[in-house]
């Protein structure tokens, strides 16, 4: 067996023309995304999720980030909660501050230069192993921050999430501390980011895809928001969803304890929703945060990381843009 043709598509999947044995006239094209990524994923997924024990045992060899974030309607102060209680030596990664402040959209990705500056402030270097957690058991903002590090070129094998977040850390008997948010003062710590645009979708790409259907769009919002049965939590946005997208509520991917369902359960869920896991996928949500829960779940299953529409419905759903949208009454 040998490869006659080998190429990458836009989202990082791979296809080949395969010649088997001596049958040189047999050109069998197959989807090779999952097979090709097996070696890479084995390396990068080795520490994708780490246990409280692992973190405690490797405490001095990693940088710990609290990525907690809450919807405005929850009326919780993530910065204040961090100061009241956090894992020792952890830093606070504020997605509402480490973002693009030149646009009127919530926590869009920052520029390369701003991300580098913020990593220096947090005391993080390119070769650091970063462990991210939420103050709740679910992977929400921690998934978004995981994706953000990959967008800016951090080694996949050195970006991990703490299983069960802060609740699981405390349940396992490990201590926490309180104290103010402290910035790094060591000017010698530098970070060099490399932007990976293949992990990000733009509004223009999402619009083009309505007709071209180059990739499947999975929307992580709750069903009532997706179908336009209720208002969006951010005032002024339209109801509905991007045409042709599929609804995969992020909470459906997680078990009661906050961890992901089993491989079999996840694959059945995607299949039941009409998702073809062997075809390109992009994810979206309200503001580009819970979309990362879907992208992380698919990477966990062994598939390439689906790009995220960073602006998501906070951008697409703006009435002034008058973009095509679907609701429950027009399906």
- Which residues are annotated as catalytic? 285
Contacts of 306 (CB under 8 A, 6+ apart): 11, 218, 280, 281, 282, 283, 294, 295, 298
Q: Which helix (H) or strand (E) holds 7?
A: strand 2-8
DSSP symbols for 150-178: HHTT--GGGEEEETTHHHHHHHTT--EE-
Q: Kind of pairing, strands 216-219 and 281-284?
A: parallel
The label of the residue with tokens 């906070």 reads 314
**Cα gap 313→304, rounded to integer Å:** 23
Residue with the two structure tokens 């209680």: 85
Q: Shortest CA distance to 232 belongs to which of 292, 312, 176? A: 312
């Amino acid at each position: 067996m040998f490869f006659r043709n080998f190429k990458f598509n836009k989202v990082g999947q791979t296809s080949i023309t395969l010649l088997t044995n001596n049958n040189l006239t047999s050109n069998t094209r197959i989807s090779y995304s999952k097979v090709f990524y097996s070696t890479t994923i084995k390396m990068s997924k080795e520490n994708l999720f780490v246990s409280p024990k692992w973190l405690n045992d490797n405490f001095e060899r990693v940088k710990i980030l609290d990525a907690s974030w809450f919807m405005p309607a929850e009326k919780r102060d993530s910065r204040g909660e961090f100061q009241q209680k956090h894992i020792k030596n952890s830093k606070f990664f504020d997605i509402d501050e480490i973002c693009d402040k030149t646009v009127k959209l919530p926590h869009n990705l920052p520029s390369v230069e701003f991300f580098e500056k913020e990593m220096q402030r947090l005391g993080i270097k390119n070769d650091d192993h970063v462990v991210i957690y939420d103050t709740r058991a679910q992977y929400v903002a921690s998934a978004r921050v995981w994706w953000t590090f990959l967008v800016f070129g951090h080694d996949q094998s050195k970006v991990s999430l703490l299983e069960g977040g802060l609740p699981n850390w405390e349940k396992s008997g490990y201590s926490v501390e309180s104290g103010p948010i402290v910035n790094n003062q060591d000017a010698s710590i530098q970070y060099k980011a490399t932007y990976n645009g293949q992990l990000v979708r733009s509004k223009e790409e999402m619009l083009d895809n309505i007709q071209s259907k180059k990739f499947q769009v999975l929307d992580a919002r709750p069903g009532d928001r997706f179908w336009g049965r209720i208002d969006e939590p951010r005032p002024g946005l339209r109801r509905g969803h991007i045409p042709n997208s599929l609804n995969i509520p992020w909470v459906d991917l997680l078990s009661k304890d906050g961890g992901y369902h089993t491989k079999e359960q996840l694959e059945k869920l995607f299949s039941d929703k009409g998702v073809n896991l062997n075809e390109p996928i992009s994810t979206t949500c309200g503001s580009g945060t819970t979309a990362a829960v879907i992208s992380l779940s698919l990477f966990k299953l062994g598939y390439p990381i689906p790009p995220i529409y960073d602006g998501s419905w906070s951008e697409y759903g703006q009435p002034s843009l008058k973009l095509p949208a679907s609701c429950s009454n027009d399906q």
